[in-house]
Each structure stands twice: as structure tokens, then as C-alpha cells.
Structure 1
Amino acid sequence: MEQQSISRTDQSIESIPFWQAFLFWLKLGFISFGGPAGQIALMHQELVEQKRWISEKRFLHALNYCMLLPGPEAQQLATYIGWLMHRTWGGLVAGILFVLPSLFLLIALSWIYVQFGDVPIIAGLFYGIKPAVTAIVFHATYRIGSRSLKNKMLWGIAAAAFVAIFFLKLPFPLIILTAAALGYLLSKKYPSFFASNNTHQSSQTNHVAAVIDDHTPPPAHAIFRWAHLIKILLIAGLLWCVPLIALVMYFGWQHDYTQMAWFFTKAALLTFGGAYAVLPYVYQGAIENYGWLSPTQMIDGLALGESTPGPLIMVVAFVGFLGAFNASLLGSEHLFLAGAFGAIIVTWFTFLFSFVFILAGAPVIESTHNQLKFTAPLTAITAAVVGVILNLALFFGYHVLWPNGFDQAFNFEAALMIIAALIALFKFQINVIYLIFASALCGLALYLI
């Protein structure tokens, strides 16, 4: 009986043509602006409301799982749904096409930035963008905080994380691991403080049968099997080890390319809470520890990441490009090639684990959903992330308002633009793309005047 049910499920899911799904994921890769919230809303509109490939309940179930994982939740959600519809190849196609257009676009924009960034028109555009990005990060702090800091315990964890990174300069991984341990231990005595609440409420729409409906049993490939798990982990291990070993053998362990691979491997495993959560770790490592780029360049890179389709965490491609370009890692005659190779390296090691978590972990982790011993550490991590993102916002604000140092002149123009951007975001909920575009034009006008 169970086998018949699984067979019927596979047949219904297979009624979604693979190439039709391929074209949708390709289109999504080019139009997925607006950060995680906008990308998730876009997928919901297309897949749940229009195409009816997956029901509301199944969509939210997949989303809740992806939000428990480190990595970009929108890209992982696309991978999950692609995997559910068309097995491993479906997940790979969905996840890769979500990232690939933005990688090529960011490589091109990074090259334009380093070649023409000093040209008055380009410099003016970025002069206006920097205050907008600062406001966007402050707004992100508020959004994540208002959603996650539901009680005094979580406020205390957020405050402690801010003190740890802002005043004590403690490493980002240590803060995250400490928060996870606190969440686990405190939940034993105060479980109500860490009870998970679904922040993605179901929309009130009339139920129309979907291909993957509320009561559609999991397809055969979604049933947990040890052999499948071991196979995925072995392949993923090879895809991680072989490139890293090749970099070590050809360039050496201390070379910047090798260190980029190792650094962004760690970043990929620590990005609980989305892209804004990993940005403090990236700036702490890429700017302060390795010196791959300057604070100003990091702000410009975030602006490019906000302005292009794909996950916001793709800003790491800009970091890899600038780090390799600034250091002329392949010689002064191959600057573009060096930068492009750096962008590809950091993208590979950042996103590899996003696929592993979905393709290997979905059948395992789904069984632990809503169990407090698993969700409490993640709830505490999310609270700590609010503190470290606030630190990032202050870091950006300092470099925008005092571009030449705290003891130098205060930039009143930038301050007014930050205030205007904050009003646009908080009061009028303006789209981030429109805000960056308007701020760039204002900056250009001020710069030319």
C-alpha cells in the first residue's frame, strides 16, 4: 500500500515538466531582486499562487526548514523545491541558476568598479550609495530584531553579543558558538523563552489543489536512507577537498587564494540568520585580518550586492575579486583573470554547503523540526546576530560620516542622506533598489556640484 502511495506521488510530481521548471529557475536567477524577503515572496507568488506546483503549507514547511540552516535561505528554498520536484538534478539546477547570473554580473561590475571607480561620474554614484547602504543595514537590524527579540532573555543575548564584538573585539565564530551553547543550556530551565514562533504566516487564500499538495506523501527520493546520505556526503567531501588540496599544492597554504577558500568555508557554516549575519564575520576577516579590501570598498560591494539579482551573500564574490585584484595574485598583466578567479573560489566554497544541507540533510532535519533542543540554540544565535549586525551598521556609519577618520571633518551631506534613507525605509517602506538608485543620483549631483 505504501509503495503504491509513493508511486502515485512520483507520478504526480513528474507531471511538472523538467524543462519548464528549468526555464522558471533560469528566469528567477535574473529577476530575484529585493533580498531574501523579496525573493521568497516572488517564489511564493509564482510557485504557490500562479503555477500551483506546491501548496502553501508545503512551501512554508520547506521555508521553515531552510531558515534553521546556515546559508542564504532563499537560495536554499529554491534548491529544496527543485529537489522535491525533480530529485537531485532538480535541486542542483534550481540552486545553481539562483546564483550563476549574479556571479557573472558581479564579476563584470567589480571590473568596472576597479577600472573606473575614480572617474567622477562613477565616484559620484558611489558617494550617494554609501549612505543608503548604511541606512539599509540599520533597517535590517531593526527588522531582524523586531522579529526575533521576543523577550528579555533574547534582548540580553543580543546586547551581550554587541558588547563582545564592539568593545571586546571577540571573533564572530566565538560569539555564535557561545550563543548556541547559552541557548541550549538556558532552554533547559527557561523553555518558554526559546519556544519557536512561525514568523512566516500563511496567506489567507482559497485552497486550490497543487501538484505537491498538503497531503501529498513525500516522494521516494525524499525518504531518508543511510546509503543516500553517505553518497551525498562523500561527493560533497570530494568537491570540497579536491579544489582546496589543489590550491594548497599549487599556491601554498598561506597564499591568498587558499586562505579565501578556507575563510569562506568557515563563513558558509556560520551564516545562521542570512547574509546580514555573515557580513560582520566577512568584514572582520577580509578587512581587519587579511586586508583584502578597505572598509569603503566593502560598503561599495554591499551596494552592488543589493543592486543585483541573486542572494545578498553574493557580495562575497566582490570581496574575492577585490582581494585578488588588489594583491595582483596572478601578476600585474592578469588583473581581471586574478579577480575573476578569486570571485569563483569564494563563491564555490560559500555555496557548496548550501547544497549539501538540502540534498543530504532534508530527510534528517525535518524529523527534528520544532524540537526545542534543536531550535533553542538557533533562536539564541539569531538574537546574537542582531547585536553583531548593529555593530556592522555602526562600522559602516563611522566610515561614511567620518571618511578620513574620527578626528577629521564630519560629513553633513552623508548624514542628511542617511536620515532621508532611514525615513524612506521606515515610514514609506520603499524598495531597496529604488532607494539605491535615487541615492546614487543624489550623490552624483552633489559630487558634480
Structure 2
Amino acid sequence: MPLKPVGLWELVAYFLRLGAFGFGGPIALAGYMQRDLVSRGWITEGEYLEGLAFSQMMPGPLAAQLAMWIGFIRHGLPGASLVGIVFILPAFLIVLAISALYVAYHGLSLVQALFYGIGPAVIAIVAHSAARLARVTVGTEKRMWLIFGTVALITVVARAEIALLFVIAGLVGVFLYSPPRTWKTSTGGLPALIHLPPLSGATVTVPLFLGLGAFFVKAGAFTFGSGLAIVPFLHQGVVLQHHWLNERQFLDAVAVGIITPGPVVITAAFVGYLVAGFWGSLISAAGVFFPVYFFVLFVGRYIIRYREHPALKGFVKGATAAASGAIAGASIILAQGSIIDVPTAVIGLASLLILWRCKIPEPLLIATAAVAGLVLYHG
């Protein structure tokens, strides 16, 4: 289909609707963009595939990255900025409302019963996401499975996600798929494209808002794989390092990110609200999406140019294998705080079986688990 001009506000209106009603996770959202935008002639199939390749290679939520990329190639900086804002805005507002209700009524037995059922279902979704991501990205490569297993084991033993392992796994991937002896003969060369942020957390002397912002910027920069790849990173920082939330609150935050439309990493807004109210929510959401915006504006064109380079592909392979391993390890850690008796074990196992055998929307599964929690809760 020939390319048709699309106005900035027309594109913005489309992504506002997608952000408000786009359930199904990052792959589904990316599929909606291909179905709608290519068929309308607003982008070509080649532009879509380039944007998808870029989004899969870079850290950060895939759907938000792809949306901003499309806005950027059509309308530059204003397009990327406005598309990014309206795509995230509906989910942010929904999470803000849920956060306020959660804080106000969390003491009610009704709310506790709902999340009694939701918790095990979230564990099943996280575990299923790890398996699905591993099947897609690791496949039959034994060396990548070794990375997956090693990171999963370390995560469980340390009871924490260690961001440095992503970098190490990525470098292992570089040496496996592009050993140093080939660097001089590789065509095109590979400039220093990946500038990683410092791995140390915010110091205890910085203000709380600055600490929240710094933490979530780093979280967004290390979210390789699916949206749920952010879960182990958040658990390490939010629960274990900063003690902003307890285990129960953290699991509820993940559930809120799953049941709302748009990117799963909107979980950051819920966490921020529980820590520091509205401004904490706004700063956390802005922080987790800032790396995405930065990569689209300043890194995307180079990633597209060098996306076939073995070193870059190797780094992405290794880092993604590590991310899926960290998700698997995190699901085990989180299960210890959520599956506490026979009813929650039954809900968790049933949810996992349903996900494995059926293509049920995740928000529907969580809603069903919430009803089960109301029936079975005896707190």
C-alpha cells in the first residue's frame, strides 16, 4: 500500500485510543500497530519491521518504544514526545485512581480478599512470561540456557536481582557470537553505542523524589525482554534495598500493572504513589519511560544501522537470556510470600495451567482469581 501523509494530531489520537483500550501485553500492542498503521498507509511494512527490531534490541517496554519510534519517524521530536505522552497517559490515570483507592481502603477485608486471590495468579503470569520469553529468545541454544539457569539460580539464592549480571551476560553473548578475532574484519564496525548508567543505587542522603527518579530511570534502562522483565529489578530495589514496600504491596503493584491497559511497567506509578503520593507516582512513571524516550531520539538510528552486527546481536541475546532467567528466579521468590496455604496454591496452579493450555487475556485471569479470593479468603 502506498504511503499516505498522516497529521500529527491524527497520529496522537490513534495512540491515545490504543493506550486506553490496548490490552494484551507488548506483543499484542505491537500487533495492533502493524494491523492498523500499515493497512492505513501511515507507515510502510519496512518501517514497522525496523521499529520492531529496534524495540526488541533496546531495553525498555517494547510497545512504548515502538509507539515513540513511529511518532519520531513521522513527526520528529514533537511526534515522539506527544505519542509517548498520550500512549502512557490513560494507563497512568487508571493506576493513579487504583492507587488512591488501594491506600484508602487497603485495611478493608474486601480488598484483602481480592488480592488474596490475585497474588497467586500474578505469580503464574510471571512464571509463564519467563518460560515464554525463554522459548522465544533462547530457543535451543544450550549456551543461552546456561545463562538463563545461572541467573535464575543466583536470583533465587541471593533473593535479589543483580543488574550487573545483565551486562555480564550481554558481554558473554558478544564473545560467543562475535569473538575478538573477528572484530577487525567485521563490516561496518561497531561504535560505542551502549552507555550504561552507573550500577550503584541512589544514596540515602538524596531527597526521596530524586531517589525515586534515579531508581526508576535505571529500572527502565535494564528492562530487557518483556515488560515483566522489570519485576525482579523492582523487587530488588523497592523491597530489599530501599524498603519502600513490603512483599504483599509489591505483588499488588505488579497485579495493577498487568490489569491496566498499556505497558506493564506502569507498575512504577503504583509504587511511586505508595511511596510518595501523586508526585511520587508522576516522577516514578516519568523515570521509567525516560530511557525509552532517550533511546528513540538519540540511539535508534544507530541501532537500526548496526542491528545485524554480530556483537550487537550477541549482547542482546545474552542480556535477554539473563532477563528471562531473572524473571524465573523472581517468580520463585515472590511465590514464597503469596502462596501461603492450600487455596492460594490451588489458585496459582490453576492459573498456570490455564495460561499454559489456553490463550486467555491476563486481565480476565486476574479478575477470575480475584473472585476466587473473595470466595476462599478467611482472614
TM, length-normalised to structure 2: 0.89
Give the AA of the match of 1:175.
L
CA distance in 2, matches of 1:280, 1:448: 30
Structure 2 residue aligned with 1:316, among 268, 290, 300?
A: 268
Shift of 1:44: 2.0
Structure 1, residues 312-341: CA drift from partner, whole Å, max 9, x if none?
0010111111122xxxxxxxxxxxxxx111
- Find the counterpart in structure 2 of residue 60 from structure 1: 49
- Is 1:393 the counterpart of 2:323 in the alignment? no
**Partner of residue 117, structure 1:** 106
Q: Aligned partners of 2:172 and 2:160: how far apart in 1?
A: 17
* Aligned twin of 1:430: 360
Structure 1 residue 93: deviation in Å? 1.4
Aligned residue identity for 1:65:
F
Aligned with 1:141 (options 123, 130, 137): 130
Question: Distance between the aligned counterparts of 2:161 and 2:231, measured in 1?
Answer: 13
Equivalent position to 1:25, from 15, 21, 25: 15
Distance (whole Å) between structure 1 residues aligned to residue 16 and residue 30 of structure 2 = 16
Give per-residue Cα distances to partners, 1:20-73, cap 9 Å, x unaligned.
222111111201222112211222222123x23223332122101111111111
Task: Report the counterpart of residue 446 of structure 1 in structure 2.
Answer: 376
Residue equivalent to 1:93 = 82
> In 2, distance between residues paired with 1:110 and 1:321?
6
In the other structure, the counterpart of 1:186 is: 176
Answering whether residue 280 of structure 2 is matched by residue 280 of structure 1, we say no
Bigger mean CA offset, 282-291 vs 342-351:
342-351
CA offset at residue 430 of structure 1? 0.9
- Cα offset, 1:189, TM superposition: 5.0
Shift of the alpha carbon at 1:168? 4.1
Residue 346 of structure 1 is matched in structure 2 by 284
Q: Post-superposition shift, 1:169?
A: 5.2
Mapped to 2, the partners of 1:185 and 1:294 lie a distance apart of: 39
Question: Are the equivalent residues in 1 in contact too, given 2:119–2:255 (CA < 8 A)?
Answer: yes
CA distance in 2, matches of 1:190, 1:307: 45
1:273 CA displacement: 1.5
Match of 1:240 in 2: none
Does the CA-based 8 Å contact 2:160-2:235 persist in structure 1? no
Offset at residue 307 of structure 1 (A): 0.8
Partner of 2:188: none
Equivalent pair of 2:133/2:226 in contact (CA under 8 Å): no
Which amino acid in 1 is paired with 2:281? Answer: A
Q: Distance in 1 between matches of 2:159 and 2:377?
A: 35
Q: Does 1:70 align with 2:22?
A: no
Contact 1:76 1:355 in 2 (8 A): yes
Aligned pair count reads: 357
Q: Which amino acid aligns with 2:230?
A: V
In structure 2, the partner of 1:376 is 314
Deviations 1:335-375 (A, max 9, x none): xxxx1111111111211221111122222221101110111
Identity %: 30
CA deviation map 1:116-148 (0-9, x unaligned): 122222222111111110110111011001111
Q: Is the Cα–Cα contact under 8 Å of residues 70 and 274 in structure 1 kept in the other structure?
A: no
Change in Cα spacing, 1:85 to 1:189, as seen in structure 2 (3 Å) is closer
2:114 and 2:370 in contact (8 A); partners too: yes
Work out which of the residue numbers 67, 83, 91 in structure 1 matches 2:72.
83
Unmatched runs of 5 consecutive residues or more in structure 2? 182-201
Equivalent of 2:38 in 30, 48, 54: 48
Aligned residue in 2 for 1:104: 93
Q: Distance in 2 between matches of 1:190 and 1:44?
A: 38
Closer, same or farther: CA 429–170 of 1 in aligned 2, 3 Å: closer
Q: Which structure has the larger Rg over C-alpha atoms?
A: 1
Do the aligned residues in 2 keep the contact of 1:103 with 1:317 (CA within 8 Å)? Answer: yes
Counterpart position of 1:254: 206
Is 1:355 aligned with 2:309? no
Structure 1 residue aligned with 2:347: 417
Give 1:95 shift.
Answer: 1.1
Query: Letter of the aligned partner of 2:231 in structure 1?
Result: L
- What are the ranges of 5 or more consecutive residues in structure 1 without an aligned counterpart? 1-8, 192-246, 325-338, 403-410
Q: Deviations over 1:268-309 (max 9, x none)?
A: 221122322221111101100110001111111111111111
